[in-house]
């Protein structure tokens, strides 16, 4: 299962970001997200909002893993595609 976080660029464009690739989040005063490969994104969410979304992302992974450990394994057909889960973070007021 792929899990991405939706973030909003300063111009209002929303995109999905893999939080596992984030090296740091700076407030300069805009929020600048730096990925491990050096790519930088300026987003409209605050650093605390971004951190909360990453926490939610990680908690959802742990919860899913916990459920997988306690539930009996079920056979999944090869032609059944798993849906990606996207956690919204972008602001509704823009």
What is the structure's pLDDT at 70?
74
More confident of the two residues 75 and 39: 39
Residues 45-61 have a mean pLDDT of 92
Distance CA 4, CA 19 (A): 7
- For residues 77-90, average pLDDT: 60
Reduced to 3 states, what is the DSSP secondary structure of residue 25? strand
**Tokens, residue 74:** 């079920």
Question: Is the Cβ–Cβ distance between 43 and 33 less than 8 Å?
Answer: yes
Interval 8-48: pLDDT, tens:
999 999 999 999 999 999 999 999 999 999 999 999 999 99
Higher pLDDT, 54 or 65: 54
Q: What is the pLDDT of residue 94?
A: 47
């Amino acid at each position: 299962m792929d899990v991405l976080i939706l973030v909003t660029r300063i111009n209002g464009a929303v995109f999905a970001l893999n939080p596992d690739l984030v090296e740091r989040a700076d407030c300069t005063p805009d929020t600048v997200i730096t990925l491990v490969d050096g790519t930088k994104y300026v987003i409209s969410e605050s650093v605390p909002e971004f951190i909360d979304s990453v926490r939610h992302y990680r908690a959802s992974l742990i919860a899913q893993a916990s459920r997988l450990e306690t539930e009996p394994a079920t056979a999944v057909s090869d032609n059944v595609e798993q849906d990606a889960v996207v956690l919204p973070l972008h602001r509704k007021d823009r």
